[in-house]
Structure formats: C-alpha cells, structure tokens
Structure 1
Amino acid sequence: MSNAIEITDLRKSFSVKAKGRIIKVEAVRGVTLAVKRGEIFGFLGPNGAGKTTTLRMLTTLLPIDEGKGTICGYDLVGQPQEVRRHIGYVSQLGGADWEATGRENLILAGQLYGMKRHDAEQRTGELLAVFELAELADRVVRTYSGGQRRRLEIALGMINRPEVLFLDEPTTGLDPQNRANLWEQIRKLKEGGTTIFLTTHYLDEADALSDRLAIMDCGIIVAEGTPQELKEQISGDVIQIRLADDRTQQAKRLFDKVSFINEIRLEGEDIYLYAKNGAQVLPRIFEMLEAEGVQTQSVSIATPSLDDVFLKQTGRLLRDGKEDIA
C-alpha cells in the first residue's frame, strides 16, 4: 500500500467537570488524513486544537471513540499490538533514564521489544553510529547536552526499526545549532525509508522538513498540502503594520475601503494587509495613514510564510509554548 497512515472521521470526546456539572468536550471532531510512505508529514495546531489527542490515538495510547484508521495496514482498534510493533514514538518529555548510560538505555529498550541480548547490542551499535553518539555511549545520560539527549531519545524510538516514527515537538528547547543538527538526522531517517509524523510549534521547522503538512484547529483539519501549496493560497504579499497609538480599528476601517488590498487581519497590535505587488502599494498605504493623521511604529513587507498561512486558517499566530492538552 502507498499510505503508511490512513485515518477516516476520527473522533474523541472527554467528559469534564465545569461549574459543578459534567460537560462533554469534543477534542477531535472528524479528522481524515492519509500519510504517504517515506514522507515527512508535519502536523500543526495551536494549544487546544486537538493535535495531541490525535497523536495519542494514532500511537494507540488513547482509545478511539469513532472513526477508523490503519498504520502500515494494521487496524488501530482491532490490531493495536501490531501497530505498536511497526511504530516508534518520541514524546516531548523523552523516555531516557538519566541515571543509565546511553548504551544501557538502548539495549534495555531493544530487549523490551523482545530482542535477544546480542541483537539488542548490535542494533545499539548501529544507532549510536547513526546519531553520532558512539563517543558518549558509556556516559550517564544526565551528563548529555540537550541536543545529545534528544538524539538519544530519537534513537530509542528507532530501536525496533519502525516503519513510522512519531516525533512530538522534537526540537523544543534546543539552540539553533542543535536544532539544525537534529533536522539533518531527521532527513537521514527519511532517506532511509522511515515515514515521519512530526508535530512542531516551529513553523520554519515545518517548512524546512515537511513534504506535506496539515493544520488543525478546534478539533478539525483546516488546511492540508505541501508548504508551497499552502503559501500560494495567500493572496499577495504580506504587509505588517504596527501603529504608534491605539487607532488600529480606525486604520482597519480605512483599509476596508480600498480595492488593492485583498485581505485584512488583526493580530494583537499588528495589522496584516495582503496585497498584490506589496512594494508598489506601500507608498499609497503611507499616504492614506498620513492623511488621517495615523502614525506608524513599524512596517514590514514579505512574501507569504507558513506563519501567514497559520494566521489565515486559525485567526491567530502559532506561539511557542506548552503543548495543547486536547
């Protein structure tokens, strides 16, 4: 089969207590996705969007209420053990024992998957080489840097040679150099044939790594495609304006009246204008603001990015922060 992951109308609700009564919260409201074998699939969403709940259902950590899905051809509901044999999962918190060495962590993980000691040691040697951890193998994990520890955690997720690897916020907290190094390791895994399902709060990361991606909001998929396809949906260049005072609504009403602006969005103190040939219309925008006596604090112009796609689809920017609980 050409798809590593297929889910149809996936749904999940939770009962929560609020103001003394029990209410039903729909965290995932009918998600349908297909992830091709051998691709990196980015999965984005603001806090509370439902992407963590979706990820937990895909990794068999949470039962499905409604809908169906398969991983590598195995049914998520009827064959969870087979699904687990074919996937790897690296959570945000990781799973390494900080008081054991990297080698001990990997060998134990292999044995937990049913490997004989010799096979687990051989696989450990392979992964230590792939993730450039051989020189650190016999040091306890608490002495590793953040980037080294994250590479070990991904190696733990690969110990069983999974066909599909789920990475949940793999570079959160890493410095730029360690992020770049981990990106390269992820690309190598793809080159080796591994399908990677990646959740991230970093839109530059999703843009750089993902063959395709989906944006989730309020429990549903609101956009899906390649990064380039999604950016091409933005109507023109993006002009970001921050005013020197609190006259944002006045400025918005002013821009509502002109035909050369395709779309207007507000985000906090910023006004986002979408216009064809943004550099050409920028002087006219300044003239309009000056005529109204509205002063600007800052103005920038750029071609569309995934930030702009995210803002358009969800009405807000994706901020770095804690993972959503839904």
Structure 2
Amino acid sequence: MTDPALPLAVTMGDPAGIGPELVVKMHLRQPDRPRWLVLGDLGSLQRAARLLDPALILHPVATPEQAQPGRLNVLETSHLAEPPQYGQVSAQAGKAAYDAIAAAITLARAGRVSGIVTAPIHKEALSAAGLAYPGHTEILADLGGAARVAMMLVNDQIRTVLVTIHCSLSEAIRRADFPAQMAAIRLACQGAQALGIAKPRIAVAGLNPHAGEGGLFGDEEITIIRPAIAAARAEGMDVSGPWPGDTIFMQARQGRFDVVVAQYHDQGLIPVKYLGLEKGVNITLGLPFIRTSPDHGTAFDIAGTGKADPDSMEAAFDHALQLQSCQGATQHD
C-alpha cells in the first residue's frame, strides 16, 4: 500500500523543453498541494522560476524526507554547468532527464516517495545521450521491477490501454499476439479498479478495419483477439469485442464501456488527444508504484516563452493522488 504521508516525486522532464516551467507553474497555482518534491537540475528549475516569478525561492533538499509542505522542494539529480538552450535537442538534456527518472524510480521502489509524476522528455535527446529507450514507459519497465507494463491514457471522458506502445505499425502487428492481448486486458481491468471501478466493462478494439469483417480484411480478430477475450471472460472479467476501432471510442464516450483496449499507439491516443491535451493523463500500469504523466510532449516551439499550459501536469498530479486514495480505500475494505 502506498503511504499518502510520503511526498510525491515529480521529475523535471527535458530541461530544454517546457517541463521545468510546468513544475514551477503547478506550484505557483496551488502552493498548498500535498507535499511533493521535484527531481532534476537546480539551475534549469531556477531559470524557469526567474521567468515566471523572480520572487520565488526554491527549497533544495538532500532527501525526500526533508521536503516541506508549501515549498517548491528540489532534489538535485544532475548538476549542469548551465541550463541547455531552450528548444534544442542535446545529449546533456537527455541525460539529465533520464537521471531524474532513474532517481525517482529508485526512491519509489525503496518506499521513500508515494509515487512518480513525470514531466515530458524528448526521445531524440535520450538517443543523443546514448540511451536506447523510446520513451518513459520503456525506462519504467526496465528499471521499475515489473514483468509487464502498459500505458493507460485517461481524460474526463474515456480511458484506453494499449496492447503495443512505441514501435512501427508493422512491428505492432507482430507484437499484438495472444500473450500481449491477455496482458493488456488484465492490466486494463486492474487499472480501472485502481481508479475505483469495481467491475470495469472492458471493450477490445479490433486490429483491422471493421474488426476484420469476419476475416475479409485480416484474421487476427478470429485467431488471436477473440480467443483472448474468451480467456479473459473465463477469468471473470467483463470483456467484449473485438469492436471496430472507428466506433469503439464513441461508444465508450457515451458510457457503454469503462475502458478500451486499443491495439496500437495511434489507435488509442488519437481519440484521447483529439478531446484535448489539457486534461489527458498517462498512467503506467503494472508497476509496483504509482506513475502518471501529462499526455503531451516537450513543446520545444514554446519552451522558455512562459506560454506552457500546466493543466495536464496538474491532472497527472491529481490522478496520482486519486490512485493513492483508491489504494488506501481498497486496503481498508
């Protein structure tokens, strides 16, 4: 069980992007949030603070236990000679972003923080730093001690879990096998339950147009997806499908389903992002700790201008608190 008395760890994201600005704005908007600390480069966070409120004083800490309520606590996980240039891909920025994530995972696995909220990172910067990860989810899977993880994207209207994540579409088709279907369905059920839905209604999208149209447009629905749905039902889950990918999210939005299992990245993310980035949240399922993030990128085009909108970052923080609360309620039932 997650201890809500522990602080949340918030990573700064890529220091050349909007991450530090989002962190500072979140504090300025609501300084009385539950105790938390940001992990990253102090100089990059100070630069964002000067941009937004020169009077703001950051509170450096050496341990999570030193974090104080009402302060913008900073645990330095990298020390850059100077902040990287805004809007530019660099190995220096990629390494600093990774170091913050790795440190947060270590703290979460040791039970010293109650969860992790991550600001956006840049995949090219990670690559420039020699880090062969296509995104946060893969770092978390590698360092987080989980056999399988999945992305759950949520907003005020729909929830979706992905069978495959960051790979080409041709590779996604190869990876969407029976074990991957079962893992995604199980994690979708667990994720919805973690958000307080006791018996979630899970809808599984087809891979092909019209969910294969009875085998006319591909047989993955017949040979892989339907057997997985049947197996999940046998385990007691409320699962239906495969449903055509072009209508399943409309039905979920209308309240017919609690969570949609999508087969590949864009099938699941386009509907969520179309409804607005300001409330979209990414939750990593399958980890032994809570992790959420905003559902957008580093926005290099506006980094350093003060225009970044912290709504999605705040929604990610609030979802982490909600997951804490639901875990606590389940533990006491």
**TM-score between both structures, scaled by the size of structure 1:** 0.32
The structure whose residues are more often strand, as a share, is 1
| Larger Cα-atom Rg | 1
The structure whose residues are more often helix, as a share, is 2
**TM-score between both structures, scaled by the size of structure 2:** 0.32
